[in-house]
Amino acid sequence: MALDCLCLPKLVDPVDSFLCCLSLDTGVKLLMWPHLVLLMYIVATAIENLIGQDNGTPGTSQMFETIWSLIGIPVILAGLWGVYHRIEPHVRLYWYYLVLSFAIDLVFIVDLFILQDACVHLKLEEAAQGGQAFACGVARSISSTAAVVSTIVALYLIYVVWSWCEDADGSTAADAVAALLDIADGRALGKKRYFGLEGPDVIGPSMDATASIFSGASIFYGSVSSAVIGEAKAVGEFVGTSIDDIETYAIGRA
């Protein structure tokens, strides 16, 4: 759903497992917990640099990384809560954060492994001496391979989290439809999983309580209405009798 604007659901389908042998729940947890530890380590390192006397002041890139990590810690905690309780919006929020993190990291990956290649600054004559040309080619190959592998791994993890969200969203919709069909057929829902939560039957009793409230309100309204109408008739009869007595008394005096 969230990728409709990118047309990705039309190109790929959600995966059913992580690394072809683990469940999606396990895969997302294996991603989130190390990610949380990494962000906490980055924040702790920044704090150490701030309060330490020998480490100096953190640079602009480290400050940005620290702020982004501080934003990510509560997002990951909410995502973990969503995974353990199967609440899709919490994990979807983490997926958005993961996509933005990948976009930011992609810039650093390109700059680190491709743009900052030492061989680019070597002269051809110097690179051809003492086997340096071979070493330079190997270094470039390793840098390019590392950049490609890092990008593929990050994209696969993003794909796994998106697959979990799609699976949870679909199962939640199916549970909701099943609950509505059970209610329409008059069957007891029992203890099932609805809307991502597992717990006792609350929909059936809630509807019964709502019906009881409406029934009680109708009875109360009917009683009050009858009482008001009765009092109104009594007052009308009293007023009519009083007027007749007054008229009789006035005619007799006349």
Question: Do 45 and 93 reside in the same domain of the chain?
Answer: yes
Same domain, residue pair 15 and 117: yes
DSSP structure string for 123-154: -HHHHTSTTHHHHHHHHHHHHHHHHHHHHHHH
* Domain edge (last residue) among 198, 222, 240: 198
Q: Domain end: 180, 198, 216, which one?
A: 198
Of residues 130 and 58, more confidently modeled: 58
- Report the alpha-carbon angle 115-118-122, nearest 5: 120
What is the DSSP annotation of 152-200? HHHHHHHHHHHHHHHHHHHHHHHHHHHHHHHHHTT----S-EETTEE-S
pLDDT bracket for residue 200 (50, 70, 90):
very low
Residue 60: predicted pLDDT:
79
Q: Which amino acid, 253?
A: R
Domain count, the chain: 2
The per-residue pLDDT for 4 is: 46
Q: What is the pLDDT of residue 194?
A: 46
163 with 48, same domain?
yes
More confident call, 29 vs 248: 29
* CA Rg value for the chain: 36
Shared domain check, 144 and 109: yes
pLDDT of residue 80 exceeding 80, the answer is yes
Looking at residue 37, its pLDDT comes to: 96
Instruction: Indicate if 85 and 181 belong to the same structural domain.
Output: yes
3-state secondary structure of 32: helix
Residues 221 and 150 in one domain: no
Q: Is 94 helix (H, G, I), strand (E, B) or coil?
A: helix
Do 169 and 91 lie in a common domain? Answer: yes
- Report the range of poorest mean pLDDT among 52-56, 124-128, 137-141: 124-128
> Which position has the higher pLDDT, 60 or 202?
60
Same domain assignment for residues 207 and 95: no
Q: Are 98 and 207 part of one and the same domain?
A: no
Q: What is the mean pLDDT of the chain?
A: 74
Q: Could you tell me what percent of the chain has a pLDDT over 90?
A: 34
Tell me the pLDDT band of 216, cut-offs 50, 70 and 90.
low
Output the CA–CA distances (angstroms, integers) from residue 215 to 13, 209, 210, 219, 226, in the order listed: 49, 10, 9, 6, 16
**What is the enclosing helix (H) or strand (E) of 79?**
helix 60-85
Indicate if 67 and 10 belong to the same structural domain: yes
Dump pLDDT digits (tens) for 135-145: 777 777 887 88
The pLDDT value given to residue 5: 46
Examine the domain organization and report whether 223 and 135 are in the same domain. no
Q: What is the mean pLDDT of residues 217-244?
A: 61
Q: Which segment of 7-16, 28-37, 192-201 scores lowest on mean pLDDT?
A: 192-201
**Tokens encoding 188:** 């007891």
Q: How far apart are CA 226 and CA 220, in angstroms?
A: 10
| pLDDT of 100 above 60 | yes
Residue 83 pLDDT > 80, yes or no?
yes
Q: Nearest-CA neighbor of 109 among 139, 151, 141?
A: 151
DSSP characters for 39-69? HHHHHHHHHHHHH-SSS----HHHHHHHHHH
Q: Are residues 96 and 153 in the same domain?
A: yes
pLDDT of 206 over the 80 cut: no
Domain that holds residue 220: 202-254
Q: Which of 180-184, 192-196, 241-245 has the lowest mean pLDDT?
A: 192-196
Contact partners, residue 219, CB within 8 Å, separation at least 6: none
Residue 226 has pLDDT above 70, yes or no: no
